[in-house]
Amino acid sequence: MRFSQRIGITPQKKEVQIENLDTELRNGLWNLLKMLFLDNLSTYSQYDLSDYKKFAQHVWHDFYKLPIDTIPEYKNSMESEIREWFFQAEWYDVYDFLEFVIRIQANNDVKYKLINALNVILEREFSGYRIVDDCIAPISNQLEFDEVSNALKKN
């Protein structure tokens, strides 16, 4: 428990997040997506599209369903557009996007590292969801829900 919580300035309890993403959860999900995925995409390829450009094409074509000739030319601009969308999107759209990123992973090491880290954030920030078999799934039974609720009460 933080100092500010112990002295009663900030709340000690946090509600299970089922139909929303608070700032801390959204920030945590973005930070992991950026550190473990986006920052590791290559931006240069001599004969083929860079990994980043391929990813952007997947996002624009398969997720946003927008024309790929509207993809910004530079990596920073592409990432800024994705980030802006991520922070303005509805909570369920963010989860759709995370599933999309997980499912297009060819590198299983990156995929499992990303899934494990995302699940840590989902648990830490009291999300009512976890990643199971490449899908965002609700905490499925009363026992799991009770465990999360009890953890909230202890904090």
Please give the average per-residue pLDDT across 108-132, as a whole number: 93
What tokens appear for 141 in the block?
């039974």
Whose tokens are 């009512």? That residue is: 128
**Which tops the pLDDT comparison, 38 or 2?**
38
Mean pLDDT of the chain: 87
| CA 117/CA 16 separation, integer angstroms | 19
Radius of gyration of the chain (CA): 18
CB atoms within 10 A of CB 74: 10
Question: What's the domain count of the chain?
Answer: 1
In 3-state terms, what secondary structure has residue 20? coil
**Which tops the pLDDT comparison, 42 or 73?**
73
- Find the domain containing 81 and state its range: 3-154
CB atoms within 10 A of CB 9: 9
Please give the average per-residue pLDDT across 120-130, as a whole number: 93
Please give the average per-residue pLDDT across 98-114, as a whole number: 91
Please give the average per-residue pLDDT across 96-116, as a whole number: 92
Whether the predicted pLDDT of 141 surpasses 90: no
Please give the average per-residue pLDDT across 59-78, as a whole number: 94
| CA 110/CA 87 separation, integer angstroms | 23
